[in-house]
Amino acid sequence: MIQVVLDSLVRASELSLLAVGLTLVYSVLRFPNFAHVEFATIGAYVALFLSSGLGFNMVIASIIAMVVAGGLGIGCDRAIFARLRRSTPIMLMITSFALGIAMREAVRMFGGPSPYFYELGLQRPWEVLGGRLTPVQAGIIAVACVSMLAFHLLLNRTKLGTAMRATADNQQLAEANGIYTERVIQVVWFIGCAFAALGGILIALDTQLQPNMGFAIIIPVFAAAILGGIGQPYGAMLGAVILGFAENVGLSIDWGALLSHTGLVSAQYVYIPTGYKAGIAFAILILVLLVRPRGLLGAKAR
Amino acid sequence: MIDFIVYLLTMIAIWGILSLSLNFQYGGTGLANFGHVAFFMLGAYISTILVMLAGLPIPLAFVGGIATAALFGILMALPTANLQQDYWAISTLAAAEIVRLIFLNQSLKGPYVGAQFGVGGIPRPLRELFSVETYGYFYLTLVLVCLGISFAIIIWLTRMPFGRALKAMREGDEVPLALGKNVRSLRIRAMALGGALGGAAGSLFAHYNAFIAPDYFLPLETFLVWAMVILGGAGNYLGALLGTVVVQSIYNSTRFLDDLLPIDASLIGPLRMIFIGLLIILVILYRPDGILPERRRRYEA
């Protein structure tokens, strides 16, 4: 049981960084950026190149990778999305899909199709309350918590954070109050993509690097962001935690025993096959969209 | 070389039906379907299952594939009323992935048929009447006839009051509602029709390729169909076909670029996708209405 909780926390940490970045970009630009998860892939590969290729320390490599991804995000905005501010969300979605494919295939071209690992050496897991947690996984949870806290302080305690919230709330009103919204949008791209890169590095630390690693988690990330109410950073964190637990708890529940209490079925040892793990996120996504499209913390439509 | 051209034309015709059907939904009705590959996949799989497991003749299986895809289109259309366009688009992407996940996990017959192994040895219609060389021409004729029928149906529908109501709905629900049209039922019918055409394309593909696997139906395929529609010009059906020719030619170009370009063969695969991605971005930036923009009828003010 503890093991399930630990696995869920690791997953939630990875998802939260990506979901917060996605929701942040949505909050100011009003379109779901399909290319967002590719910044995770690029960040992970840049960190690999710096650490394994050039011999940088993993922490320094990660920070540089975040800056590179953030800069790339700003570059994509300047080159592409800034010219499409007046386009429909659908056109922006297609554009981001096209950009995402170009980015993913560029990674495949330079990195090759085979998977890589960070050179971490053998990890001896710790015993935590009867469950197993490797030091890397503990680090993943810690990094995600620190990032979320830093983001919270940025959003609420700084002038920049106020400007970001104002721009997300009402761009014209923010401009009327002397906020240079185009600059805020650039900052949002930088933070969103840097967070995505960090999320990608954490996922790669936990599993492996491959060109599809970003696109493989696009649905859980979207599900987390929409579940919390897209455009709501705290909602995205909550959504990531719920998704992380739903995926792991959903697989470990004996649905037969659970449902036999209702008297409708009498069976035991009915588990969701692990092949359907990804389906849990899909099902949550569709269910949320059907029942509460604003999400858990979503504001009422104006 | 001639074999390759026949193959390429067959692929263009099959994907032409797909892009016509997406163009009908997006260009003609304003439904941004990001799970379009689901119709293609259902047409391919259901038709295959009906022939190989249920033992139905191919024409009946073809109809079965179309009907299943149309039903799935109706299912996807149901939540449109309560959802914003972009939210609905994401939900369609997830719906298509759920279908793929089921085919990826469900073995069909014995341990190595279906699931991740795919299904091979799918019977080809009237195979015994033709030699190996001439069968390609026969199938090309078959898919071209299907493409022609699809094109005729869609052009006929867009000229009917039904098609004009769909087009009005594309610009917003207010006008069709004011005219007393049931927008929900219009959307459901548009999705069912587009689904049926997508299912036909899938069935044609399965019986041509004789092998299908879940990997053939990734969200990437949906994007390729979108690329065809955006490139050609949303709302213009000839444009969608032109877009299909361009995108399919680039997509299948690896076969002969291999000999022409002095670069490693493993780089050409990613390169063509980068090229298609950048091409779509450039089209959206500089020619957002596509190569052949939709001709809008002008009325005197």
Report chain B residues touching chain A, CB-CB < 8 A. Answer: 26, 32, 34, 79, 82-91, 93-95, 97-98, 101, 104-105, 219-220, 223, 226-227, 230, 266-267, 269-271, 273-274, 276-278, 280-281, 284-285, 288
Question: Is there a contact between A189 and A76 (Cβ–Cβ < 8 Å)?
Answer: yes
Number of neighbours of residue B180 by Cβ within 10 angstroms: 6
Output the average pLDDT for chain B.
Answer: 90
In this model, does residue A35 exceed pLDDT 90?
Answer: yes
pLDDT of residue A263: 65
Amino acid making up residue A47: A
Q: Is A126 on the interface with B (CB under 8 A)?
A: no
State what percent of residues in chain A have pLDDT above 70: 95
Q: Is A99 on the interface with B (CB under 8 A)?
A: yes
In this model, does residue A301 exceed pLDDT 70?
Answer: no
Residue of A nearest to B266 (CA): A109
Q: Is A282 on the interface with B (CB under 8 A)?
A: yes
Residue B77 token pair: 């259309």
Q: How confident is the model at residue A129 (pLDDT cuts 50, 70, 90)?
A: confident
Distances (CA, A) of B22 to B135, B187, B233: 29, 13, 12
How close does chain B come to A130, measured CA to CA in Å? 33
In this prediction, residues B112-128 reach a mean pLDDT of: 86
In this model, does residue B101 exceed pLDDT 80?
Answer: yes
Q: With CA atoms as reference, report the closest residue to B120 among B186, B198, B251, B216.
A: B216
What do you get for the CA distance between the two ends of chain A, in Å?
43
How many CB pairs below 8 Å do chains A and B form together? 117
Q: Is A108 on the interface with B (CB under 8 A)?
A: yes
Across the interface, whether the CB atoms of B270 and A109 are under 8 A apart is answered: yes
What do you get for the CA distance between the two ends of chain B, in Å?
55
Q: Is A75 on the interface with B (CB under 8 A)?
A: no
**Taking the CA of residue B282 as centre, how many other CA atoms within 13 Å lie in the half-sphere pointing to its CB?**
8
Q: Could you tell me which residues are beta bridge partners of residue A127?
A: A132
Higher pLDDT, B69 or B268: B69
Across the interface, whether the CB atoms of A95 and B98 are under 8 A apart is answered: no
Q: How confident is the model at residue A226 (pLDDT cuts 50, 70, 90)?
A: confident
Residue of B nearest to A99 (CA): B277
Question: Is there a contact between B273 and B217 (Cβ–Cβ < 8 Å)?
Answer: no
pLDDT of residue B73: 95
For an interface test with B, the pick among A30, A36, A38, A101 (most B C-beta atoms closer than 10 Å) comes out as: A101
Question: Is there a contact between B231 and B279 (Cβ–Cβ < 8 Å)?
Answer: yes
Q: With CA atoms as reference, report the closest residue to A58 among A75, A68, A73, A46.
A: A46
- ∠ CA(A151), CA(A157), CA(A159), 5° rounding? 100
Q: How confident is the model at residue A40 (pLDDT cuts 50, 70, 90)?
A: very high
The answer for A 24-53 residues in CB contact with B (under 8 A) is 31-32
Q: Is A82 on the interface with B (CB under 8 A)?
A: no
Residue of B nearest to A277 (CA): B101
Q: How confident is the model at residue A266 (pLDDT cuts 50, 70, 90)?
A: low
pLDDT of residue A302: 37
Q: Is A190 on the interface with B (CB under 8 A)?
A: no
List the single range of B42-56, B175-189, B195-209, B244-258 with lowest mean pLDDT. Answer: B244-258
Handedness of CA A54, A56, A61, A64 (dihedral sign): negative
Tokens 């940025």 sit at which residue?
Answer: A154
Chain A residues touching residue B91 (CB < 8 angstroms): 285-286, 289-290
Give B36-83 pLDDT, tens digit per residue: 999 999 999 999 999 999 889 999 999 999 999 999 999 999 877 667
User: pTM for the complete prediction?
Assistant: 0.91
What ipTM does this complex have?
A: 0.90
Across the interface, whether the CB atoms of B83 and A90 are under 8 A apart is answered: no
How close does chain A come to B60, measured CA to CA in Å? 31
Q: How confident is the model at residue A20 (pLDDT cuts 50, 70, 90)?
A: very high
Chain A residues touching residue B276 (CB < 8 angstroms): 98, 101
Instruction: Write the residue in B26, B223, B269 that is nearest to A101 by C-beta.
Output: B223
Question: Is there a contact between A77 and A189 (Cβ–Cβ < 8 Å)?
Answer: yes
How close does chain A come to B29, measured CA to CA in Å? 13
Instruction: Write the residue in A113, A223, A276 that is nearest to B105 by C-beta.
Output: A276
Chain A residues touching residue B37 (CB < 8 angstroms): none
Long-range contact set of residues A94-97: C-beta below 8 Å, sequence gap at least 24: A94/B226, A94/B230, A94/B280, A94/B284, A95/B280, A95/B281, A95/B284, A96/A31, A96/A32, A96/A33, A96/A34, A96/A35, A96/A36, A97/A34, A97/A35, A97/B223, A97/B226
How close does chain A come to B10, measured CA to CA in Å? 25
In this model, does residue A264 exceed pLDDT 70?
Answer: no
For an interface test with B, the pick among A31, A105, A284 (most B C-beta atoms closer than 10 Å) comes out as: A105
How close does chain B come to A105, measured CA to CA in Å? 5
For an interface test with B, the pick among A81, A94, A217 (most B C-beta atoms closer than 10 Å) comes out as: A94
Question: Is there a contact between A223 and A290 (Cβ–Cβ < 8 Å)?
Answer: no
Output the average pLDDT for chain A.
Answer: 88
For an interface test with B, the pick among A22, A76, A217, A289 (most B C-beta atoms closer than 10 Å) comes out as: A289
Distances (CA, A) of B79 to B39, B73, B183: 17, 11, 13
Q: Give dist(CA A243, CA A226) in Å, integer.
A: 11
Backbone angles phi, psi at B285, to 5 degrees: -75, -45
In this model, does residue B299 exceed pLDDT 80?
Answer: no
pLDDT of residue A232: 84
Chain A residues touching residue B34 (CB < 8 angstroms): 93
How close does chain B come to A102, measured CA to CA in Å? 4
Chain B residues touching residue A273 (CB < 8 angstroms): 105
DSSP of chain A, one letter per residue?
-HHHHHHHHHHHHHHHHHHHHHHHHHHHH-S--TTHHHHHHHHHHHHHIIIIIT---HHHHHHHHHHHHHHHHHHHHHHTGGGGTTS-HHHHHHHHHHHHHHHHHHHHHHH-SS-B-----PPPPEEETTEEE-HHHHHHHHHHHHHHHHHHHHHHHSHHHHHHHHHHH-HHHHHHTT--HHHHHHHHHHHHHHHHHHHHHHHHHHS-B-TTHHHHTHHHHHHHHHHH-TT-HHHHHHHHHHHHHHHHHHHHS-HHHHHHTTTS---S-----GGGHHHHHHHHHHHHHHH-TT-SSPPPP-
In this prediction, residues A35-59 reach a mean pLDDT of: 92
Question: Is there a contact between A33 and A22 (Cβ–Cβ < 8 Å)?
Answer: yes
Q: Give dist(CA B281, CA B287) in Å, integer.
A: 10
In this model, does residue B301 exceed pLDDT 60?
Answer: no
